[in-house]
Amino acid sequence: MDRLNGPARLMIVSDLDFTMVDHEDPENVSLLRFNALWEAYYRQDSLLVYSTGRSPTIYKQLRNEKPLLTPDITIMSVGTEIAYGDSMVPDYGWEQCLNLNWDRDIVTQETIKFPQLIPQLDVKIIYSNGTALDVLPKGAGKGQALAYLLKKFKANGRIPRNSLVCGDSGNDAELFTIPEVYGVMVANAQEELLQWRADNAKNNPSIIHSTERCASGIIQAIGKFTLGPNVSPRDIRDFRKGRADIFSPAHEVVKFYLFYERWRHAEVDKSDKLMEDLKSSFYSLGTFVHPSGTEQPMHKCTDIIERLYGDKQGKNYCVWLDRVSTAQIGSDAWLVKFDKWESTSENRLCCLTTVLLTAKKSEDAFTWMHIHQTWLDGFEAKDETIWFL
């Protein structure tokens, strides 16, 4: 939570399975749309919170399977655990709150007797997805965990300017009871959640049922409630015809690597004009440091890109950026850091990437002065020659 100097412009609190992540979308189209939107426009001044029924172990499994962004905060095990950042630092204060009037051994003994269970302890029972049953401390749950976080934000004078909660099943219902938040139930929401809305929030204009599935429904809600930009860079087919008022280092790197993915899929036209524009974006005397440690002039990057045209056509290949951060280090210079991911059918690779950008004086565009990459531990390429940029 200390990443931001003040209140978050927007805080998104989203369930994972069938809300942020669409398990019926093998190409992760909606999730990748959200990723590009978040890293281009929101990462710098907003907070991303996952609120999941998964335990830490199976949450980490999902992160290894899907192109999920790194959240600022993770609420797990249906609101019984809270952790911060990529290192998953536990919130021990929340643990202490839940330990009051709660004996896990007694609960385990009693739940063995289900379905004859008669709640005689200070617990709550949540039924969701038609099959899942969660027995929690009375003070736990996704809604209670979010209320606890908002209380901490308020105590520090950092209450988010806007918050959007997102869910699809019964264990998400509590999220929509928190005052002064916007809410979206995605198009594929379970009947139990839609029934809860009909019974409790039918006339609440701040809670909507989207017409799009999963992460696309979240993007739809951002637009519906006017919470900020809601056009993902992945929805822009030709950046040369895009909005002229978008001029930010974060948008620049997201846009470039999206072009890089499309180029390798042969989804953009290969033209002399495009190659000229690309070459003009790289400082000819700059340096690219490959994660292997080898260095080469920046102008050779364009030669490499030109040779890669269409090499991933028809193949399972995608690129996404995570943890984009920018720092202005001069009147017209920015240092941009991010994790650059590539995923194929065979493996998943990631480099910690640093880019030095300068603004072109005559136009709203950037020059790439320097690129430096190092492997993220555990995601190195066995054959480093398959990694190009």
Q: What is the pLDDT of residues 181-198, one digit of tens each?
A: 999 999 999 999 999 999
Segment 366-382 shows an average pLDDT of 96
pLDDT band at 328 (very low <50, low <70, confident <90, very high): very high
Global confidence as pTM = 0.91
Segment 194-210 shows an average pLDDT of 96
121 against 379, higher pLDDT: 379
pLDDT tens track for 141-164: 899 999 999 999 999 999 999 999
Provide the pLDDT for residue 104.
60
As a whole-number percent, the residues of the chain with pLDDT over 70 amount to 88
Q: What is the Cα–Cα distance from 353 to 360, expressed in whole angstroms?
A: 22
Helix axes 92-99, 142-155, angle to 10 degrees: 130
Provide the pLDDT for residue 363.
75
Segment among 31-40, 122-131, 264-273, 285-294 with least mean pLDDT:
122-131
Q: Are strands 348-359 and 333-344 parallel, antiparallel or unpaired?
A: antiparallel
The one-letter amino acid code at 51 reads S
pLDDT band at 282 (very low <50, low <70, confident <90, very high): very high
Segment among 90-94, 109-113, 153-157, 291-295 with least mean pLDDT:
109-113
Provide the pLDDT for residue 123.
55
Segment 55-74 shows an average pLDDT of 97
259 phi and psi angles, rounded to 5 deg: -60, -45
Segment 98-120 shows an average pLDDT of 64
pLDDT band at 70 (very low <50, low <70, confident <90, very high): very high
Q: Is 44 helix (H, G, I), strand (E, B) or coil?
A: coil
Q: What is the Cα–Cα distance from 24 to 71, expressed in whole angstroms?
A: 23
Provide the pLDDT for residue 239.
74
| Buried b / exposed e along 349-386 (16+ C-beta atoms within 10 A) | bbbbbebbbbbeeeeeebbbbbbbbebbeebbbeeeee
Mean pLDDT of the chain: 91
Segment among 12-21, 211-220, 239-248, 254-263 with least mean pLDDT:
239-248
1 contacts 85 by C-beta, under 8 angstroms = no
Q: Contacts from 235-239 at CB under 8 Å and sequence distance 24+? A: 235/33
